[in-house]
């Protein structure tokens, strides 16, 4: 069992397999994209699998594959299939924007992927284009339909942005009436990759809940699962549930059980930290698994208390200017 220096259990890895994406969501990256990592800079599938195998041996029980957009990386199912077979892994899941997802759904289910997080900030095709700068709404909805047809557990992630999609909060909530999905509203975070200074949060988790209550005052609080990042709710009579994630307010840091590995192999023990430990570089320098385990344990033993402390300690990248796509958000 992995325990950090604040007594928190670590059992969840978010592995970003690429920084590339087929959308250009304005809150994640500039319109013309990023300076994409070269193939040499990316972790190879072999390096990713070696990292996952070591971390599962150390105590990681759940792995979520993220990006960028995971399905834009060639032969992604090869990696997923290999990870799914790791002895001791209890849960393999994936986060996707849904554009390319539909054809992969049967195989995802076959290899044991338990749940899929689908990024969807609006149910309006025009607003979707304005947010993502791409005309892919129909493909995303086809991906959602395929997931539901195959009885996959689906969580819909919607970033709430002032002046952009707050009118979509209620329509997204109404999806839970007839569909067995969890719609999760996420506070906007300062990771847009364009270097602009974040000016503050307009819609926090309290305001989001208040907005839902204007239409559904009968909404009921559910018991949050262990390590949950969301405050969870349900409207009586609805098949699905609602979650609100205080990603910027950082109210869940006290039970944080997750670590991240970026596409270039950098370990992040907090979304808001600087990173600094590159697993890929250590592997390519010939570091043994035993020595790598020692380095990892040292990193886990020096985690920031919370996201606010992690942000204050940033040295390599002062200010929060990276793109979420480059850090595995």
For residue 174, name the pLDDT band (cuts at 50, 70, 90).
very high
- Assign 76 to helix, strand or coil: helix
Task: Give 158's strand partners.
Answer: 185
Task: Give 234's strand partners.
Answer: 220
Q: Using the Cα atoms of residue 131, residue 132, residue 134 and residue 136 in order, give the sign of their dihedral.
A: negative
Query: What are the φ/ψ torsions at residue 158 (nearest 5 degrees)?
Result: -125, 120
CA distance 123 to 190: 24
For residue 326, name the pLDDT band (cuts at 50, 70, 90).
low
SS3 content of the chain, % helix, strand, coil (to 5): 35, 20, 45
Return the biggest CA–CA distance within the chain.
59
Average pLDDT, the chain: 92
The CA–CA distances, whole Å, from 149 to 105, 114, 145 equal: 9, 14, 6
* DSSP state letters, 241-261: EEEEE-TTTTTTGGG--EEEE
CA distance 222 to 72: 36
**pLDDT tens-digit profile of 193-225?**
555 555 568 899 999 999 999 999 999 999 999
Greater confidence (248 vs 73) lies with 73
Greater confidence (247 vs 100) lies with 100
**pLDDT > 90 in the chain, percent:** 79
**pLDDT tens-digit profile of 270-286?**
988 878 799 999 999 99
User: What is the model's pLDDT at position 184?
Assistant: 98
For residue 322, name the pLDDT band (cuts at 50, 70, 90).
low
Pairing of strands 230-234, 241-245: antiparallel
Segment 46-57 shows an average pLDDT of: 98
The CA–CA distances, whole Å, from 140 to 97, 121, 175 equal: 7, 11, 15
Question: Could you tell me which residues come within 8 angstroms of residue 289 by beta carbon, excluding any fewer than 6 positions away?
Answer: 50, 54
CA distance 271 to 314: 12
């Amino acid at each position: 069992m992995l325990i950090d220096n604040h007594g928190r259990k670590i059992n969840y890895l978010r592995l970003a397999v690429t920084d590339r994406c087929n959308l250009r969501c304005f809150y994640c990256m500039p319109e013309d994209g990023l300076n994409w990592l070269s193939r040499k800079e990316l972790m190879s599938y072999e390096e990713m699998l070696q990292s996952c195998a070591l971390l599962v041996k150390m105590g990681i029980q759940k792995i979520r594959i993220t990006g960028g957009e995971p399905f834009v990386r060639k032969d992604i199912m090869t990696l997923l299939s290999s990870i799914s077979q790791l002895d001791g892994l209890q849960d393999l899941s994936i986060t996707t924007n849904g554009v390319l997802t539909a054809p992969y759904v049967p195989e995802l289910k076959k290899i044991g992927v338990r749940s899929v997080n689908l990024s969807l900030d609006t149910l309006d095709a025009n607003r979707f284009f304005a947010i993502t700068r791409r005309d892919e709404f129909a493909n995303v909805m086809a991906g959602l339909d395929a997931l539901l047809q195959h009885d996959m557990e689906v969580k819909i992630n919607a970033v709430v942005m002032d002046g952009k999609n707050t009118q979509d909060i209620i329509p997204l909530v109404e999806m839970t009436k007839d569909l067995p999905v969890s719609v999760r509203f996420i506070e906007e975070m300062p990771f847009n990759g364009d270097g602009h200074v974040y000016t503050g949060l307009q819609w926090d988790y309290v305001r989001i809940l208040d907005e839902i209550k204007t239409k559904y005052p009968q909404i009921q609080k559910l018991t949050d699962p262990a390590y949950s990042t969301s405050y969870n709710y349900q409207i009586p009579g609805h098949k699905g549930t609602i979650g609100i994630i205080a990603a910027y307010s950082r109210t869940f840091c006290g039970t944080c059980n997750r670590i991240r590995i970026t596409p270039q192999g950098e370990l992040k023990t907090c979304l808001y930290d600087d990173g600094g430990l590159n697993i890929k570089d250590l592997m390519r320098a010939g570091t043994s698994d035993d020595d790598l385990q020692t380095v990892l344990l040292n990193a886990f033993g020096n985690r920031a208390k919370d996201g606010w402390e992690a942000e204050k300690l940033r040295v390599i990248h002062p200010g929060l200017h990276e793109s979420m796509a480059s850090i595995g958000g």
